[in-house]
Amino acid sequence: LHLAMGVIRYPRLRLYWKPSFKTELLSSVSMSRNRFEKLRNCLHIVDVNGDHNGNDRLWKVRPLLNSFQERCRQLPLEEHLCVDEQIIPFKGKLDVKQYVKGKPSPWGVKVFMLCGASGVVYDFLVYQGSTTELSSENKQTFGVTGAFVLHLAARIPDGIGHKLFFDNYFTSLPVLRVLLEKRIYAAGTIQKSRTEKCPLKTEKQLKKEGRGSSDYLVSSDGKIVITRWMDNRAVNLASNCVGVDDEDVVSRWSKADRDYISVKRPAVVKKYNESMGGVDKTDFLVSLYRTSIRSRKWTLRVIVHFFHLCVTNSWLEYRHHAQLRGISTKEQMDLLEFTLAVVESLAKACSLNLPRKRGRPSTSPLQPLKRPNATTLRPVYDVRYDQIGHWPSVEREQQRCKLEGCTGKPKIKCQKCNVHLCLSSGKNCFLAFHTR
């Protein structure tokens, strides 16, 4: 229901059960409003009266986080990865609540994420203050932000040659050196105070040379290069793999000329721009059909947020596998269609779908319903193959058998799948349709 509410948005929760606002999608989830509100108010992931880790401030949702993280860590990594922050929107009372300037929802629970350039989440770590599970040695040596990078980079196998990108909140020269020792090539914007007083041209000098000018300096051991590039303002970048070489030309808007102008761009800037937006893409996809929840319970916000992350990650995996199989983009499901398919599967899968009888039996003969003109659609695979509640019934009219390749016109119909299938001593399409 929460996933369906993210697609169909009403200003009040009770409108979802109002007859004039109810849709076929919401009707497929047979749950009363009182039952839904009771379950949501009593929703728990763990036994709150049992023993729990006192140092873990997220113990109430820890099993869900561990389950999602375990699945993310099973995915094969992309070549280009990035580390960035994500915010789970929440403005209520919570001791681990953070404010991150520049985010669409700046207040909430902070999550440090390792994502691919496609937006797939490969690992994450929820920030919970001083009790965050970080190496104390790394925090002392590289600082808290550097410790987050090294913690998430532990997911990356050594010696493969993955490329890792992060912004100036995380970048430092010691972190770049440690990553290079593991053959993890990294780059990112860097604060001027962390460049160890690198003698580059000043912003004033680069302004005189014009927009697109740059300066760089390589460390004495040849492992680190720091680049300063002049765009609208000076941007500092540090890398252990790429510098100014192979400059390209990009189009930038000029306020002075009121037109687009050609500007030179160093290779490190190009690589950074192409690979740094993975977490932002995930944020955007989650925000498209995010469930609007007015609740003071932070646990409910976190639970629903990770449900949406599961759907988004699954859709990105689906798109990747569809491309490998040669399925064109037009034939693939978009995120909306994929979310609706998940809602339908969760609503119908593993349900008996038995008709409810109310009131006294009618004494008048039943009037046959007029056959609809619309074509009967096949059920989604999760419903078709769950092997629960698929009961045959005999109908008055014949329809085409929905088993692939069969041209028969039986009267037998599956009550759950709502499709006609052959069922006789010589042909059992009913069994074949529900068997993989």
Closest CA to 69 of 9, 15, 112: 112
Decide if pLDDT at 152 tops 90.
yes
Q: pLDDT by residue (tens digit) across 277-305?
A: 899 999 999 999 888 877 788 888 999 99
Instruction: Decide: residue 436, CB within 10 A, 0-12 exposed, 13-18 middle, 19+ buried.
Output: exposed
Domain 62-279 CATH class label? alpha beta
Q: For position 253, what pLDDT does the model report?
A: 84
Of 27 and 4, the one with more pLDDT: 4
Written as six digits, the tokens of 411 are 């009267």
**353 — pLDDT class (breaks 50, 70, 90):** low
Q: In what order do the strands lie in the sheet with 392-394?
A: 392-394, 412-414, 419-420
How many angstroms separate the CA atoms of 132 and 149, rounded?
13
Main-chain dihedrals φ then ψ at residue 392, nearest 5 degrees: -80, 150
How many angstroms separate the CA atoms of 114 and 135, rounded?
17
Decide if pLDDT at 115 tops 80.
yes
Domain residue spans in the chain? 62-279, 390-436
CA angle, 229 then 233 then 237, to 5°: 35
Decide if pLDDT at 276 tops 80.
yes
Instruction: Decide: residue 330, CB within 10 A, 0-12 exposed, 13-18 middle, 19+ buried.
Output: exposed
How many angstroms separate the CA atoms of 154 and 141, rounded?
16
| Alpha carbon separation from 309 to 108, 315, 380 (Å, rounded) | 16, 10, 21
How many angstroms separate the CA atoms of 348 and 418, rounded?
12
Decide if pLDDT at 201 tops 70.
yes
Decide if pLDDT at 366 tops 90.
no
Decide if pLDDT at 239 tops 70.
yes
Decide if pLDDT at 362 tops 70.
no
**74 — pLDDT class (breaks 50, 70, 90):** very high
Work out the average pLDDT over 396-411: 90
Q: What is the DSSP letter of 12?
A: S
Q: For position 232, what pLDDT does the model report?
A: 86
Q: For position 162, what pLDDT does the model report?
A: 92
Decide if pLDDT at 186 tops 70.
yes
Q: For position 113, what pLDDT does the model report?
A: 94
Contact partners, residue 388, CB within 8 Å, separation at least 6 = 349, 350, 351, 352
3-class secondary structure, 93: coil
Closest CA to 304 of 286, 321, 322: 286
What's the chain's average pLDDT? Answer: 86
Instruction: Note the pTM of the prediction, 2 decimals.
Output: 0.78
Q: pLDDT by residue (tens digit) across 246-267?
A: 788 888 888 888 888 888 888 8
3-class secondary structure, 265: strand
How many angstroms separate the CA atoms of 269 and 244, rounded?
8
Of 307 and 355, the one with more pLDDT: 307
Decide if pLDDT at 359 tops 60.
no
Q: For position 46, what pLDDT does the model report?
A: 85
Instruction: Decide: residue 253, CB within 10 A, 0-12 exposed, 13-18 middle, 19+ buried.
Output: exposed
Contact partners, residue 273, CB within 8 Å, separation at least 6 = none
Work out the average pLDDT over 239-247: 82
Q: What is the distance, to the nearest Å, from the Cα of residue 194 to the centroid of all Cα atoms in its chain? A: 32
Q: For position 364, what pLDDT does the model report?
A: 56
Decide if pLDDT at 367 tops 70.
no
Q: For position 349, what pLDDT does the model report?
A: 67
Decide if pLDDT at 75 tops 90.
yes
Q: For position 5, what pLDDT does the model report?
A: 83
